[in-house]
Amino acid sequence: MKKMTTAIIQLLLAIAGILCLSSLPSLFKGMKVDIEGYFTSLLELVGNVLNIANITYGQNRPLFPEVFRFYWESLSLFMLALLLSTVCALVLTYIIVYFFRNHLKRMKFFLVLFESIPDLFIIMCFQIFVVALFQATGIVVFNIATTMHQKSMLMPILCLSIPPTIMLTRIFLVQVEAELSKDYVAYARAKGLSFYHIFTRHILGNVLFTMFHYSKTIVWFMFSNLLMIEYLFNVPGIVYFIFKYPFPEVFVVVLLLLYVPFFILYKAYDIFVPSVMKGEGV
């Protein structure tokens, strides 16, 4: 009950923070700070959000359900990239542990080096590679941007998934290395079980439960990159919607749509999943 109350308070404080942030443009009037204008705008924004079903944008068009079209575009891009990065990270982890078990420290060092490469640099290199491949072969592997006639989806997904794949692989390696030192792995080896069986039936489940706790960082990291990806590839997602209709009410609704579902998901995990399952397990 205490955890539930704390979660509700945290959610209310987060919503209050989003409202205050959305009203910041009205704090400045020219070169002067307008405190009264800020609070007037904030109260007006709160009133509009409380009457959320009647919020309009543009030429008095209703925000709902139009905003969901852009929201699902962004969310589908995000979820597919997250799924791809998780699968790739697990496969890479298995390959590294299976073939380079005696060089895990070196492999983790290389992954840290790759993590230090700016995300924008990786994305630009990927775009240049696709363009160069087209110029050399005439083959269009991916659409590098969304236009009126062609939709670019695969390339944004790949670009969004590359940085978290590197990050997840490094974290998976640390977790798998810790699992390999536990008694149940030695017992399974003594019984003659294959590494593939031990990894998929025992280690993988324990690592995934533990990783869910660490995934908060990955999720918010990917959301920050999502803004850049949508802009660079002209994806008609939530970023496009905010830039086209830069109204405080739109900004609040979009942030709530992005923040609240994941907040509820992680708080439900913290409240209802036993501590043993979050950390250690066989």
CA distance 126 to 213: 31
Q: Is the pLDDT of residue 151 over 80?
A: no
- Residues 73-98: pLDDT tens digits? 889 999 999 999 989 998 898 888 88
Rg (CA), the chain: 23
Name the residue with higher pLDDT: 153 or 160. 160
pLDDT at 281: 42
Q: 142: alpha, beta or left, given left = phi > 0 and alpha = psi -120 to 50?
A: beta
CA distance 175 to 13: 33
CA distance 96 to 90: 10
Mean pLDDT of 167-190: 82
The label of the residue with tokens 């390999």 reads 180
pLDDT at 232: 80
Closest to 95 in 3D by CA, of 208, 176, 167, 161: 176
List the structure tokens of 279.
């950390």
- Residues 243-281: pLDDT tens digits? 888 888 888 888 888 888 888 888 887 777 666 555 544
The label of the residue with tokens 């990291």 reads 221
